[in-house]
């Protein structure tokens, strides 16, 4: 395992011990942030709001960027129509993913990120 922050290593070990598949334990963006020394919560240990917001914003922005050139030319939508539909798609995706991550957290009986020790000596 690369040198990740102590709290991340603890979280990864907990998920490994619980039988969580590797792809679900450590998504690529998270692995990059951890290698940079940024201790962000794995999605399975993050709360509903954090997952819904982060995944919803990422999806909504990506969807909007892809829709603008595609649907802006093919379908006569105004820019605000595309922004609004991308925002709605982001909200829906975020809520669904937040619920899925919450269900997986309960399935594997994982603790919340905030309850893990931060790895600093007292």
Q: Confirm whether 26 is domain-assigned.
A: yes
Percent of the chain with pLDDT over 70: 90
In total, the chain counts a number of residues equal to 122
pLDDT at 117 over 60: yes
In the prediction, which pLDDT does 80 show?
Answer: 79
The two structure tokens encoding residue 38:
């940024």
For residues 30-37, average pLDDT = 93
Check residues 65 and 99 and name the one with the higher pLDDT: 99
Percent of the chain with pLDDT over 90: 73
In the prediction, which pLDDT does 122 show?
Answer: 41
For residues 42-49, average pLDDT = 96
pLDDT at 121 over 60: no
Q: Confirm whether 1 is domain-assigned.
A: no
For residues 46-57, average pLDDT = 96
List, in sequence order, the alpha helices (H) in the chain: 6-18, 22-25, 28-35, 48-74, 79-107
Q: Record the pTM.
A: 0.85
The range of the structural domain enclosing residue 99 comes to 6-115
Q: Confirm whether 122 is domain-assigned.
A: no
Count of the separate structural domains present in the chain: 1
**DSSP E strand boundaries for 48-94:** none
């Amino acid at each position: 395992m690369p040198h990740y922050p102590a709290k991340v290593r603890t979280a990864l070990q907990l998920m490994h011990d619980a039988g969580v598949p590797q792809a679900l334990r450590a998504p690529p963006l998270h692995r990059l942030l951890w290698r940079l020394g940024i201790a962000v919560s794995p999605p399975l240990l993050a709360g509903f709001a954090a997952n819904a917001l982060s995944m919803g914003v990422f999806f909504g922005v990506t969807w909007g960027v892809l829709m603008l050139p595609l649907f802006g030319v093919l379908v006569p939508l105004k820019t605000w129509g595309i922004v609004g539909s991308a925002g709605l798609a982001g909200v829906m995706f975020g809520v669904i993913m937040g619920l899925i991550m919450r269900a997986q957290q309960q399935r594997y009986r994982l603790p919340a990120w905030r309850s893990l020790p931060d790895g600093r000596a007292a």
